[in-house]
Structure 1
Amino acid sequence: MEKEEIKILVLIIGAGPAGLATSACLNRLNIPNIVVEREDCSASLWKRRSYDRLKLHLAKQFCQLPHMTFPPNTPTFVSKVGFINYLEKYATRFNINPRYNRNVKSAYFKDGQWIVEVENGTEMSREVYSTRFVVAATGENSEGVIPEIPGLVGSFEGEYLHSSEYKNGEKFNGKDVLVVGCGNSGMEIAYDLSKNNAKVSIVVRSPVHVLTRWIVRIGMSLLRFFPVKLVDRWCLLLAELKFGNTSRYGLLRPNKGPFINKLITGRSPTIDVGCVGQIKSGKIQVVPMIKRIEGKRVEFVNGNTKIVDSIVFATGYKSSVSKWLKVDDGDLFNENGMPKHEFPDHWKGKNGLYSVGFGRQGLAGISKDAQNIARDIVSVVCRRRMMNKLSC
């Protein structure tokens, strides 16, 4: 395989919102950088691995990337298509041109430089980047996770898929479908299936805060002025007025409030798009964790069983950093490819290694990470230039 050696000051790995935001911040400061992406497009999670009815769950002012607001006529809660269009305009505005079909195989620090080996899938060649700074922008949602369940592989006679493969509920019309997971994806997919006349059950594995988009928007606005515990109390009161006692339907709330819980666990509250109403009406059934599967029969931990045709796993994602960062000379990531340090100290390692989009703070967190990284790189570059001048 032909080998090409490339020198660049900053290499950004990943062309999702995190990589685009970081490149934009660096471009505004005239810092040379290259973005490499394993897929054949930017924002592949949004374009290829998300369901059709997806909307941003937070108001647009909490979801815009650095230095570019949404147009004034943009709806408060931006659609999937609207956000993809925004990202494409963002890349054009800040002259970001990712190198696609670049699969990073390894990255290691040697003699003051990062050596990053990349497979070029377009030209079937190998590229070796020598760079002073590496930004891991592959994020927390790099690879879908399907839990190991006895009987799922080899025994289950129906279809199962991760939520990243789900588009809409049309093909599930009239079928018995089990959705595993009660986060935003799980609840919204369950609702979409029920509106497409599927017979839906949803596995609720742990307590969950269910709020509306407007309650979350009010809460995030109030957090600027009031303590988080007080805001949590108000939001839970609004949720009680909206939904009533959800524990009656199998939706238990965590002991801690929604925003405190987010800070401690990184888990966001679930935004209801109509699923709670379907649960209360009996159109969606809440079930406990799965114990085992045999044929099409699913047994739950409470001993009940159910025959299902399909299972959709809305069970989250994992980082892929540990696959290519062979030795973490930057002292930034743990063995699971997640930062060793909690937010807000998660984005900077040693030897010029950074992470963006790993703080469990959504798009607002990505924007902060990108700006922090750009400022830090500029300060390092400026200090080096000053030292070189003094030594002359």
Structure 2
Amino acid sequence: MMCFPDFPYPDDYPNFMHHSKIQEYIEAFAQKKNLLRYIRFETLVSSIKKCPSFRVTGQWEVVSEKNGKQESTTFDAVMICSGHHVYPNLPSDSFPGLDKFQGHYLHSRDYKGPEAFKGKRVLVIGLGNSACDIAVELSHLATQVIISTRSGSWVMSRLWDDGCPWDMVYVTRFANLLWNVLPSFVSDWLYVKKMNTWFKHENYGLMPLNGTLRNEPVFNDELPSRILCGTVSIKPGVKAFTETSAVFEDGTVFEAIDFVVFATGYNYAYPYLDDSIIQNRNKELYLFKGIFPPLMEKPTLAVIGLVQSLGAAIPTADQQARWAVKVFTNSCTLPTPKEMMDDIDKKMEKKLKWFGQSQTLQTDYVTYMDELGSFIGAKPNIPWLLLTDPQLALEVYFGPCTPYQFRLMGPGKWDGARKAIMTQWDRTVKPMRTRAVSEAHRPQPFYDLLKMLLFPLLLLSVLLLFY
């Protein structure tokens, strides 16, 4: 689900890889595509400014620095690909008394391993993926670990139906259609029911304040069992720190704290770019489809990777970059500034409904990928596939929305895309079947979804009889 769309992972790689495997894969991709000669490592970009002739040429002056020497270069276009995990957010001002705390505190970015925390009492602030990973790892060595969370979160397992990777089952075109067309009370009921299939979140102190919002869940297979065993405890937000303890919003106190780990996320900023270039309204970057500044005289700047969804980052960035290049080379034309601004406002309203906070970077993965694919002619044409290749069409629609789907047709078409899609479950199962005892079981997401929908559809039918 996370590979480049024309470069599948080796079939002996595990489904959820160690970061060293990801690095091996990216290096192999760079070598295969002969990209290393275009990369300038250990080089700082100091500034990006419009050239004096920008209104005519759309060119940029980029000042870079390496080994203390600066160099200015003119480029026809610029992509900003630094993502949104850039500057650690350490909200020390939000916690009264932290300046008097005598223990140690650090941001999760500076956490490198559990050894220094052996036998210590640790408070982890936050309930995202980093917070949960750190708390679970520390719980094997630390004396006590407490997680403090203001809002709670859904916690999901990587293993879903029949032990399949969650995203291979959940991120499908059919499931995406259901979430978008079902009445909100039905989709909300289904969402909460699915999230509570593994364990009841309210019993573990993890229940989100607004459980129906589609905020990004946490993926951690160990956290519930660590809570069940008492090695990790969940507490509400911290009201204040003393010299040695933390006072929580419910009045309870965690005494004799040795370490506080702030897993409080990141901020993003562009210090090398003038603020007027990327319009910012109410601390929100205004970008068409999360990529293009809508008020540029020439569309020669794109922001890549500044979105977040229940989908993989690599194929998303790949799709964004493909579109950006076509705009840069005048193969695609952007809408008018007004049309782009109207689209941004419309998307913001939808984000408020689904995710509850307007500044979120979250977006719906399948819908977003299809939007970008439509601009470059790479969106799969399901009716056409149904007429010409029914087996492939069913796999594309009901199966996982793997990146290969966006190389089936249009510019950048890859001849191996069909085979990659038709064999994707074989490659998923292979690294696990190191002891083959019978034929591998392939999931049937279509039938599983039908069974899951049976009750709410019956309920809806009964309700309609009374109107």
> C-alpha displacement at 1:366, in angstroms?
4.5
What is residue 40 of structure 2 aligned with on the other side?
99
Which has the larger helix fraction? 2
Q: Structure 1: any 5+ residue segments left out of the alignment?
A: 1-60, 262-266, 385-392
The question of whether the paired residues in 1 share the 8 Å contact of 2:304 and 2:320 is answered with: no
Q: Which of residues 79, 83, 92 in structure 2 aligns to 1:139?
A: 83
2:285 pairs with 1:339: yes
CA gap of 1:346–1:209, structure 2 versus 1, over 3 A, is same
> C-alpha displacement at 1:288, in angstroms?
1.4
Q: Which of residues 224, 241, 248 in structure 1 aligns to 2:197?
A: 241
The question of whether the paired residues in 2 share the 8 Å contact of 1:179 and 1:200 is answered with: yes
Letter in 2 for 1:295: E
Q: Which of residues 287, 305, 312 in structure 2 aligns to 1:364?
A: 312
The question of whether the paired residues in 1 share the 8 Å contact of 2:9 and 2:25 is answered with: yes
**Partners of 1:340 and 1:382 in 2: how far apart?**
22
CA gap of 1:169–1:375, structure 2 versus 1, over 3 A, is same
Correspondence 1:179-194 to 2 at 5 A: 179-194=124-139
User: Please, what is the CA RMSD of the aligned residues?
Assistant: 2.6
The question of whether the paired residues in 2 share the 8 Å contact of 1:177 and 1:199 is answered with: yes
Correspondence 1:1-392 to 2 at 5 A: 61=1, 63-97=2-36, 98-110=39-51, 111-112=53-54, 113-120=59-66, 122=67, 124-148=68-92, 149-153=95-99, 155-215=100-160, 216-217=166-167, 218-221=169-172, 223-224=175-176, 226-228=178-180, 233-234=189-190, 236-243=192-199, 245-257=200-212, 261=214, 267-307=215-255, 308-321=257-270, 323-329=271-277, 331=278, 339-341=285-287, 345-349=289-293, 350=296, 351=298, 352-361=300-309, 364-381=312-329
The question of whether the paired residues in 1 share the 8 Å contact of 2:157 and 2:221 is answered with: yes
Which has the larger strand fraction? 1
CA gap of 1:379–1:173, structure 2 versus 1, over 3 A, is closer
**Partners of 1:253 and 1:335 in 2: how far apart?**
26
> C-alpha displacement at 1:248, in angstroms?
2.6
**Partners of 2:202 and 2:329 in 1: how far apart?**
55
The TM-score with structure 2 as length reference comes to 0.60
What secondary structure sits across from 1:81 in the alignment?
helix
> C-alpha displacement at 1:84, in angstroms?
1.6
**Partners of 1:102 and 1:241 in 2: how far apart?**
48
The question of whether the paired residues in 2 share the 8 Å contact of 1:177 and 1:309 is answered with: yes
> C-alpha displacement at 1:204, in angstroms?
1.3
Q: Structure 2: any 5+ residue segments left out of the alignment?
A: 161-165, 333-467
**Partners of 2:310 and 2:77 in 1: how far apart?**
24
Letter in 1 for 2:268: S
> C-alpha displacement at 1:379, in angstroms?
4.9
> C-alpha displacement at 1:293, in angstroms?
1.8
The TM-score with structure 1 as length reference comes to 0.71
**Partners of 1:64 and 1:201 in 2: how far apart?**
35
The question of whether the paired residues in 1 share the 8 Å contact of 2:79 and 2:304 is answered with: yes
Give the total of aligned pairs: 307
What is residue 337 of structure 2 aligned with on the other side?
none
The question of whether the paired residues in 2 share the 8 Å contact of 1:347 and 1:373 is answered with: no
CA gap of 1:82–1:366, structure 2 versus 1, over 3 A, is closer
